[in-house]
């Protein structure tokens, strides 16, 4: 026979939804508090009722003992059921609704009792304290059961003790008072429980809305997933509260911004310092895909408000993409230079071919000499003034591109730069950006001209790039160095507004400055001052610089 399957056990557990669990727990707490309050109230109530009953019994005993004729009757009459003491005691008992009033002599013999058969017998409890002149209150057992008692001495007119009076109040009446008070007390407790249950329901409804009716296990799972996602994604996430303070940073945001957990609880201005990055995170600069520069990183930031008044900002690292874009632009510049040279070479070859076909051999020789001499003169003029091969190659290439675009690019006669640069690549980036911006500014204008001046003043390098373009209005001269600001159409690889910002950052990183003003005769003049940009004359340059023109073009940055 197959074994009988075990009976299924009924499993009782908490409901899964947060609303139901919170409501159930709060109702249970309210019920527990109501029961506890009821118990704490009933415990002293019972003691209070006992005390009131004993005091009432004592007061009745004192009133009975104060009857002037009672002591005389105890002394002069026998203890009988129809005696005056019994009649007096019963009259007082009925008037006060006491359970019994017992009058006794000094021997403890009863002179009154609710049961006439007990008259003439000794009392069942010890009367010694009352006969000794003391007043007694107690809860005790007697012939009539448990009762609250009061005993006082009975004195004659001279003050001598001739007996005692004992009064009892039935304990059942005390218990009845207590039981009578319980329903009213429970009514109050039930009302309090109902109010607590209503408050618990309202709170639970609020919790339900805020938690979207999820179970605690679901919330715990979501939190675990959120932590894993925040610290696992390769995008920076910064959460801010309604006061604008940072409340969460994931690992990527800490890496991109160069800050740690100490930034939590502080404003972006305090954690990052004043600048565009702090403005974007704080919401002072609005928009989508905002470009900002943090250190040497180019970041794309987006900020979204949250329902609680805070915000969440995301950061994407675009440094490598910008570098690739600048390399692409440099390659395009080199291709443009080669295309310009090819076009110019083709024209010269066609001219030379025409001279040869016309058998104008002497003119052909003179033409070839002139062309070669002009080209050599341009390169030699640049290398004589700029000894650094990287910068010289850059300017020679830019001159060819400028000629193709109809712009005259010349190097100022005041230019003198020795081959002692500390960071030639950084200066190439600065010069390339400023020359490109100048070429764009003068494109399409008449008598377009760009002049570059590079001067060494001790160990300081001063760079000036002038153009004959429309210039920059005074109110926009600081704005042009802001990340993301540009008047040009964005290139194919992304957005503009990076080049001039990088120029200023490179200058400030070396303790220098980058400014723009009005050039003599109109146009714009950019001035960059780079302190400590040259090594001492007897020292080797801090960085080995490649001399290939292609390397210069590769470092060109917009």
**Strand duo 449-457 + 408-411: pairing:** parallel
- Residue 476 or residue 319, greater confidence: 476
Instruction: Give the structural domain span for 327.
Output: 321-555
**pLDDT bucket at 7, cuts 50 / 70 / 90:** very low
* pLDDT of amino acid 214: 63
Domain count, the chain: 3
Q: Phi and psi dihedrals of 9, rounded to 5?
A: -85, 140
Indicate whether 94 pLDDT > 80. Answer: yes
pLDDT for residue 462 is more than 90: yes
* Max Cα distance, the chain (Å): 182
Return d(Cα 171, Cα 450) in angstroms, integer. Answer: 117
pLDDT at residue 463 is higher than 90: yes
Query: Is residue 427 over pLDDT 80?
Result: yes
How far apart CA 116 and CA 309 sit, in angstroms, is 88
Where residue 534 sits, what CATH number does that domain have?
A: 3.30.565.10
* Whether residue 310 sits in one domain with residue 173: no
Angle (CA) 202 205 209, round 5°: 145
Are 338 and 371 within one domain?
A: yes
**Residue 478's pLDDT band (boundaries 50, 70, 90)?**
confident
How is residue 241 written in tokens? Answer: 């509260």
Percent of the chain surpassing pLDDT 90: 6
Same domain, 466 and 549: yes
Give 17's pLDDT tier (boundaries 50, 70, 90). Answer: low
Please tell me whether residues 351 and 484 are part of one structural domain.
yes
Q: Are residues 313 and 382 in the same domain?
A: no
Model pTM greater than 0.75?
no
Answer whether residue 241 shows pLDDT above 80: yes
- Structure confidence by residue, pLDDT tens digits, 381-411: 788 888 888 888 888 878 877 877 788 888 8
CB atoms within 10 A of CB 168: 29
- Same domain for 268 and 250? yes
Q: What angle do CA 178, 183, 185 make, to 5 degrees?
A: 80
Beta-ladder partners of 301:
290, 315
* DSSP reduced 3-state for 150: strand
CA distance 229 to 437: 42
400 inside domain: yes
Neighbours of 408 (CB within 10 A): 14
pLDDT band at 226 (very low <50, low <70, confident <90, very high): low
End-of-domain residue from the set 289, 317, 345: 317
Which residues face 298 on adjacent strands? Answer: 293
505 part of a folded domain: yes
- Kindly state the average pLDDT of the residues 141-148: 66
CA distances from 135 to 33, 96, 104, 171, 198 (A): 42, 19, 15, 20, 53
**Any domain includes 182:** no
Using 50, 70 and 90 to split pLDDT, how confident is the model at 217? low
Q: How many whole angstroms separate alpha carbon 303 and alpha carbon 322?
A: 21
- Tell me how far apart the terminal alpha carbons of the chain are, to the nearest angstrom: 88
- pLDDT tens, position by position, 147-163: 788 899 988 888 888 89
pLDDT single digits (tens) 320-379: 665 565 566 556 656 766 676 666 667 778 777 887 878 787 877 777 766 655 555 567
Q: Confirm whether 9 is domain-assigned.
A: no
- 338 and 240 share a domain? no
pLDDT computed for residue 27 by the predictor: 74
Residue 150 in domain: yes
Residue 164 and residue 292 share a domain: no
Comparison of pLDDT for 224 and 304, the residue scoring more: 304
Average pLDDT, rounded, for the chain: 76
Q: Which percentage of the chain shows pLDDT scores above 70? A: 72
**Residue 491: band (very low, low, confident or very high) from pLDDT cuts 50, 70, 90:** very low
Same domain for 343 and 310: no
What's the whole-number mean pLDDT along residues 202-213? 68
Tens of pLDDT, residues 38-48: 666 666 666 77
Domain final position from 283, 317, 351: 317
Whether residue 350 is found in the same domain as residue 459: yes
- Which tens digits make up the pLDDT trace of 262-284? 888 888 888 888 878 888 888 88
Task: Report the CATH number that the domain containing residue 238 is assigned in CATH.
Answer: 3.30.450.20
Q: What is the pLDDT of residue 467?
A: 92
Task: Judge contact between 222 and 211, C-beta under 8 A.
Answer: no
Task: Flag whether 212 is in a domain.
Answer: no
Judged by DSSP in three states, 294 sits in strand
Per-residue pLDDT, 74: 85
The answer to whether residue 216 is domain-embedded is no
Instruction: Specify the 3-state DSSP secondary structure of 119.
Output: coil
**Three-class secondary structure of residue 548 per DSSP:** coil
Listed residues 302, 317, 332: the one ending a domain: 317
Neighbouring C-beta atoms of residue 175, cutoff 10 Å = 14
- Is 329 strand, coil or helix? helix
Tell me: pLDDT of 464 over 90: yes
Residue 349 shares a structural domain with residue 312: no
Q: What is the pLDDT of residues 317-332, one digit of tens each?
A: 876 665 565 566 556 6
Residue 102 inside a domain? The answer is yes
pLDDT recorded at residue 493: 43
Distance CA 513, CA 461 (A): 11
Are 99 and 127 members of one domain? yes
């Amino acid at each position: 026979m197959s074994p009988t399957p075990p009976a299924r056990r009924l499993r009782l557990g908490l409901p899964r939804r947060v609303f139901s669990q919170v409501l159930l727990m709060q109702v249970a707490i309210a019920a527990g508090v109501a029961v506890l309050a009821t118990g704490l109230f009933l415990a002293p109530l019972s003691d209070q009722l006992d005390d009131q009953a004993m005091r009432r019994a004592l007061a009745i005993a004192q009133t009975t003992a104060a009857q002037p004729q009672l002591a005389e009757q105890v002394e002069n009459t026998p203890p009988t059921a129809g005696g005056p003491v019994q009649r007096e005691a019963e009259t007082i008992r009925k008037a006060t609704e006491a359970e019994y009033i017992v009058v006794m002599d000094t021997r403890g013999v009863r002179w009154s009792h609710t049961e006439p058969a007990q008259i003439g017998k000794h009392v069942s409890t010890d009367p010694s304290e009352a006969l000794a002149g003391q007043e007694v209150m107690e809860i005790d057992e007697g012939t009539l059961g448990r009762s609250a008692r009061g005993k006082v001495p009975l004195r004659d007119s001279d003050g001598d003790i001739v007996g005692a009076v004992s009064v009892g109040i039935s304990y059942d009446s005390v218990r009845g008072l207590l039981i009578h008070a319980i329903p009213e007390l429970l009514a109050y407790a039930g009302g309090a429980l109902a109010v607590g249950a209503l408050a618990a329901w309202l709170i639970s409804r609020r919790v339900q809305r805020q938690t979207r009716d999820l179970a605690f296990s679901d919330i715990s799972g979501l939190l675990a997933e959120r932590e894993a996602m925040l610290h696992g994604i390769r995008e920076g996430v910064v959460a801010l509260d309604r006061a604008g303070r940072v409340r969460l940073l994931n690992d990527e945001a800490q890496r991109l911004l160069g800050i740690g957990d100490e930034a939590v609880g502080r404003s972006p201005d305090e954690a990052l310092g004043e600048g565009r990055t702090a403005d974007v995170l704080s919401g002072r600069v609005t928009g989508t895909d905002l470009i900002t520069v943090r250190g040497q990183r180019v970041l794309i930031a987006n900020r979204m408000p949250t329902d609680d008044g805070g915000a969440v900002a995301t950061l994407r690292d675009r440094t490598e993409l910008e570098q690739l874009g600048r390399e692409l632009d440099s390659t395009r510049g080199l291709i443009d230079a080669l295309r310009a040279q090819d076009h110019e070479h083709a024209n010269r070859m066609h001219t030379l071919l025409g001279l040869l076909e016309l058998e104008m051999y002497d003119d052909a020789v003179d033409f070839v000499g002139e062309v070669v001499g002009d080209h050599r003169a341009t390169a030699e003029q640049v290398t004589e003034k700029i000894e650094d091969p990287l910068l010289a190659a850059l300017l020679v290439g830019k001159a060819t591109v400028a000629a193709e675009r109809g712009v005259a690019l010349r190097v100022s006669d005041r230019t003198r730069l020795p081959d002692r640069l500390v960071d030639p690549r950084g200066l190439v980036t600065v010069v390339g950006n400023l020359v490109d911006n100048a070429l764009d500014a003068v494109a399409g204008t008449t008598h377009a001209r760009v002049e570059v001046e590079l001067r060494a003043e001790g160990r300081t390098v001063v760079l000036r790039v002038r153009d004959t373009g429309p210039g920059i209005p005074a109110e926009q001269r600081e704005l042009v160095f802001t990340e993301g600001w540009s008047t040009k159409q964005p290139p194919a690889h992304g957005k503009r507004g990076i080049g001039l910002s990088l120029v200023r950052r490179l200058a400030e990183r070396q303790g220098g400055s980058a400014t723009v003003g009005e050039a003599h005769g109109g146009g714009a003049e950019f001035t960059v001052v780079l302190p400590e940009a040259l090594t001492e004359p007897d020292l080797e340059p801090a960085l080995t610089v490649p001399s290939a023109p292609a390397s210069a073009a590769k470092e060109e940055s917009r």
